[in-house]
Amino acid sequence: MQTIGKYFDLYFGPDKVRKIELLILRAAIFSFLVHLLVIFLGNNFGLLHHNQQNYLKAIYTPFSFILYYEVFLLIIIIPNSISEFIGKQFEVITLITLRSFFHDIADFNSSDFIAINSPEITSLLYDLGAALTLLTLTILYYKIYYSNKKKEVVTELKDFILIKKNVSFGMIIVLFLLSVSSLLNWSNDVLYAFQNNTNYPNPNTVFYTDFFSIMILVDVLLLIISFVYNFSFFTIFRNASFIITTILIRLSLSIAKPMNYFMVIIGFLFSVITFYLFSHRNSKKIE
């Protein structure tokens, strides 16, 4: 465990993370240009597909790379406080919601007459409304976190931090394997969509459902291990509320609008209210 902890500190320090960030940003720019080129060739020369494609579809591709980097950050901050880890999880699901707008707007045909209560307009409004709501709840969560951060007394032992570094290192390996597997499956679906002129597959059902399923197990594991170092009713309830939110996020990725957004918002509200009450209890111990 100590060896893995040292490798984690060596390979995922601030300088190394910055290099990974630049690599992913370059990949995002390259993928954006390639996607624009593919749409141009398809629209003007009939290559790869025969139907006219909206250039806005290309926005979805680089945004997916940025979102993937946020998932990577979510994993490497596992050794930090549980509160910070959950805040990053809020950020990821909020960006997933915002990305849905880019996915839906690409299928929006402005040349056709569309009523204000049409499914296309309603879907876009769901995306924007949910994104703003989740952003608001994320801001509230961080306000509660930072207003109480100075009051926090670090009680985690080095052994627990070391365990979380090992868990984080293992999750990085899982993320890599899951990414390769999901990319292959998604590429096959995209190839099929090109050949049959159908809609692009939704990556949420290929990667993120599996990822958050694993995150649920990780959250439960860390919760149980934390009992060894801090067995408190308030801490148990707070951490359990975070697990509930992760479960609701996972369920939301596999159901249709608007119930998926309703479920996520309920999960966010539950964690924010619980965290607020936890931070204002009569106790000096937070973590």
Per-residue pLDDT, averaged over 216-227, amounts to 84
203 — pLDDT class (breaks 50, 70, 90): low
Percent of the chain surpassing pLDDT 90: 17
Q: Which of 250, 169, 176, 179 is nearest to 213 (CA)?
A: 250
What average pLDDT does this structure show over 187-211?
68
Please report where in the chains the tokens 């990949």 appear, as a residue.
27
What are the structural domain ranges in the chain?
A: 2-279
The phi and psi torsions of 139 (rounded to 5 degrees) equal: -65, -45
What is the arithmetic mean of pLDDT over 226-234?
78
Report the pLDDT averaged over residues 140-154: 74
Average pLDDT on 235-257 reads: 87
- The burial class, CB within 10 Å (0-12 / 13-18 / 19+), for 261 is buried
**Pair 253, 191: CB distance under 8 Å:** no
Q: Identify the weakest region by mean pLDDT among 84-93, 114-123, 146-155, 213-222.
A: 146-155
Q: What are phi and psi of 144, to 5 degrees?
A: -65, -40
Does the structure show a pLDDT above 70 at 255?
A: yes
Six-digit token string for 91: 């950020």
CA distances from 280 to 31, 39, 94, 148, 199 (A): 47, 54, 26, 9, 49
pLDDT value for 130: 93
pLDDT over 60 (residue 50): no
